[in-house]
Structure 1
Amino acid sequence: MAFGRLLNALRTGGAEPLGVVDATPAPVGETEDEQTARHLDELRDSVRSVGRDLPTLLTSQLRQIDDQLRLVVATIADQGASTEQRVLLAAMVTDYLPSPLRSFLALPAADRTDDSRSTIVFARQLELIEETIRDLLNQIRIGAIAELSTHGRFLSDKFQEPDAGLVLGAH
């Protein structure tokens, strides 16, 4: 399913079949990071458009997740990230969030109430996604610290004057 069709399915209540999302091709010159940011914008717009069909708890969680994902996107832009980290981020934006959201919206309104079992199950899934985002952000930050320490060791070795102050964690 193309990403645009996914967004339309979110807006129309999930009439399309479930499946893995095939993201739309990037415009010429758009980087993977820019594409992920664009898909995040599109997902946010779709969530806003179906907000009236979501319990307040889920709307709140989805907004928090959006804020966290935007922080990850900004951190990656500033510090970089591994291929695996970028793939995980893209998967969250194009599949791990939209697919269960689309499934939830396809349920009858009676199953989408504030205290329904479906709402609770989806809320727990969103909690897991939030935890994964926090872990991802931490991994990216740890990678930057490790890079800085490696550079400090390089400088220390290069100039043969060991200086414990150049390496993080050295005493």
Structure 2
Amino acid sequence: MASLADLVARVFGRQRAAEPAERLVLPSVPTSADLLAAVERVEALVADGAVPAPVASRVARVTRVVRETIPRLDRIGAGSLDAYSVMATATDYLPEAVGGYLRLPRDWANSRPVDNGRTSLMVLIDQLDLLARTMDLVFDAVNRSDAAALVAHGRFLAEKFGTHSTGGQLEIGQITPLPPEPTP
């Protein structure tokens, strides 16, 4: 049905200005606080014995590494695959895995095979182990860049000021006894 403005515009041979198209609004990138809040929500899901101990310990491992990685995300760049993996683990992958398991009746989830003889509990544990390994790799990558910077700085200092130390390496098996205390 045409509006009055459309009719007037047609009568006078003018085209009515096109209505602005709906703007696509993208969700904002989660902040560190958003990621930590997502981790806290998952931790609350598994609190107070809501899941078996093997699940709780695996969730704790994943959330610990995510928590340790979040403050370092600026070192790897917001657009990197590693940064995305941390964000998605905190806000989507981990909550969805735990939530999917928790939506099932406990006894059924822990006893009925659902995937090649594996129960929902076994499937969840496999997913949590995969997330833990992935977060460990991301954390290692983040820290490797800082470690590489430390090594490069050490080389710079050695070139600038002379030889470098051995780094305090211990000679295993080469214990030198302390000299005897002087007698008074």
For normalisation by structure 1, the TM-score amounts to: 0.60
Distance in 2 between the 1:57 and 1:114 partners?
A: 15
Of the three residues 123, 141, 148, the one matched with 1:121 is 123
Greater gyration radius: 2
Q: Is the 8 A contact 1:111 1:119 kept in 2?
A: no
Structure 2 residues not aligned, in runs of 5+: 1-26, 114-118, 165-184
How many angstroms does 1:90 deviate by? 0.9
Say how many residue pairs are matched: 133
Are 2:102 and 1:105 aligned?
yes
Measure, in 2, the Cα distance between the counterparts of 1:82 and 1:40. 21
| Pairwise CA distance, 1:55 | 2.0
Identity within the alignment, % = 21
Distance change >3 Å, CA 151–CA 114, structure 1 → 2? farther
- The answer as to 2:92 corresponding to 1:92 is no
SS in 2 for 1:126: helix
Tell me how large the CA RMSD over aligned residues is: 3.3
Give the direction of change, closer, same or farther, for the CA distance of 1:105–1:46 in structure 2 (3 Å limit).
Answer: closer
**Alpha carbons of structure 1 residues 163 and 95: separation in structure 2 relative to 1, 3 Å:** farther
Distance of aligned partners of 1:88 and 1:131 in 2 relative to their CA distance in 1, 3 Å threshold: same
Provide Cα deviations, 1:118-169, integer angstroms capped at 9, x if missing partner.
111110111111111111111011111233345567778xxx859674xxxx
- Residues 45 and 108 of structure 1, relative CA distance in 2, 3 Å threshold: closer
Partner residue in 1 for 2:76: 81
Structure 2: distance between partners of 1:135 and 1:69: 11
Q: Which amino acid aligns with 2:144?
A: I
Tell me if structure 2 keeps the 8 A contact 1:100–1:122.
Answer: yes
Q: Any unmatched runs of 5+ in structure 1?
A: 1-23, 166-171
Match of residue 6 from structure 2: none
Q: Is 1:62 paired with 2:59?
A: yes
After TM superposition, the score normalised by the length of structure 2 is 0.57
Measure the CA separation in 1 of the matches of 2:65 and 2:111: 23
Return the structure number with greater helix share: 1
After superposition, where does 1:26-65 map in structure 2 within 5 Å?
A: 32-48=31-47, 51-52=49-50, 54-65=51-62
**CA 1:164–1:80 in 2, change beyond 3 Å: closer, same or farther?**
farther
